[in-house]
Structure 1
Amino acid sequence: MATGHTDPQRRERILAATLDHIAAEGVAGVSHRKIAARAGVPLGSMTYHFTGIDDLLREAFTRFADHIVTVFDEHLGGVDDREQAREALTGLVHALSEGPRRDLVLTQELYTLAARRPEYRALTQAWMARSRHLLERHFDPGTARQLDALIEGLTLHRALDPEPHDRELTNEAIRRITTAA
């Protein structure tokens, strides 16, 4: 295997392996040895690229949050009016809930870590602020906050329900929040 100097993708592989490992076994199972093995890198690469497990987890979860914000932006980016925004939000909820189970698990692992450890709350708060900023392009800040929570809840319910609700119910919930003001 190439050394760190000739393997510019090593750091990226470590971060991807960390997220894969968390999705498969949870945050509690993360160790330098397990991640190095999963990434196919020497164990020494872990301490070369990251100061410790918390540094690794923060960077991996930051990368994951960036991915989810990109999904938000892909749905809301080309929207011109409120009706299109409502439809885009319905599509977003269904894309997130029908998407990779890995993303759902990673979201819940990050939330659990943030609930237990204040230093991870800043990461989730920044993620929520970025999501709400995208929503505020189309809705006032209070409505954007409600929609952000609705998206999280509907996504989780749809993903875990053996008979998930349809687009009509999602659209109705979004419409109720966005027309209540």
Structure 2
Amino acid sequence: MVEASIDGRRLKGERRKKELIEATLRVVARDGVAGVSHRAVAKEAGQPPTSAAYHFKTIDDLLTAALTSCMDRDAERIRQLTDASGGGEEGVRALAAMMVAALADTVHLQAEFELYLLAACRPELRDPPRRWLAAIERFGRRYTDDAIRLRILSGTVDGLLIQALVTGEPPSAAEWESVLRTILFDR
């Protein structure tokens, strides 16, 4: 009986941590990294003011958890897409659809880029973005082993995503497909 209650508390704690990470992403999207505080995140998550500090001792811990969570989730989606597609037009269409869907969730995407840029200043945060870039490259390897094309692919994906956030004009699925074909298919 004691073991069951311990597991229940552990599960509740993990659920609260996930809620705090999601709340951190919303705060970052709304207020930028500078707006993240334990109090702001706990309030956004609808949790007691001390909750964020209990689960994440420092703001850096909270930001690291948020960056890792969103980048690893997106990298895993790309890995799954890569494994499910055999390459060719099917894979291009699937990645284009995934990018259109990513742009529909501007809260997460904006927070990801805020955190992504934070990793540029903080080397200890660079592993999650590297895993994202590796997942994009792995997808590209279904089409080419040309290192330059693979570099162009990852830069283009990131570039189009951030341009869409800045301009408010996201590429359509057809535009994504055209760009991906241009990069990945030999002409």
Regarding TM over 0.5, the answer is yes
TM-score, with length taken from structure 1: 0.80
Question: Does residue 114 of structure 1 match 2:135?
Answer: no
**For 2:127 and 2:175, how far apart are their aligned partners in 1?**
33
Question: Is the 8 Å Cα contact of residues 96 and 173 (structure 2) preserved in structure 1?
Answer: yes
TM-score, with length taken from structure 2: 0.77
Question: Is the 8 Å Cα contact of residues 85 and 138 (structure 1) preserved in structure 2?
Answer: no
Match of 1:90 among 86, 91, 96: 96
Secondary structure of 1:155's partner?
A: helix
Unaligned runs of 5+ in 1: none
* Match in the other structure for 1:64: 70
- Identical amino acids, percent of aligned pairs: 32
**For 2:113 and 2:162, how far apart are their aligned partners in 1?**
9
- The structural deviation recorded for 1:65 is 0.9
Match of 1:53 among 46, 59, 64: 59
- Letter aligned with residue 20 of structure 2: I
- Letter aligned with residue 63 of structure 2: L
CA gap 1:34/1:67 in 2 versus in 1, 3 angstroms: same
| The structure with more helix, counted as a fraction of residues | 2
Question: Is the 8 Å Cα contact of residues 36 and 45 (structure 1) preserved in structure 2?
Answer: yes
**For 2:40 and 2:164, how far apart are their aligned partners in 1?**
32
RMSD: 2.7
* Match in the other structure for 2:132: 127
- The structural deviation recorded for 1:80 is 1.5
Tell me how many residue pairs correspond in the alignment: 177
Secondary structure of 1:33's partner?
A: helix
- The structural deviation recorded for 1:55 is 0.9
* Match in the other structure for 2:29: 23
CA gap 1:159/1:21 in 2 versus in 1, 3 angstroms: closer
- The structural deviation recorded for 1:180 is 4.2
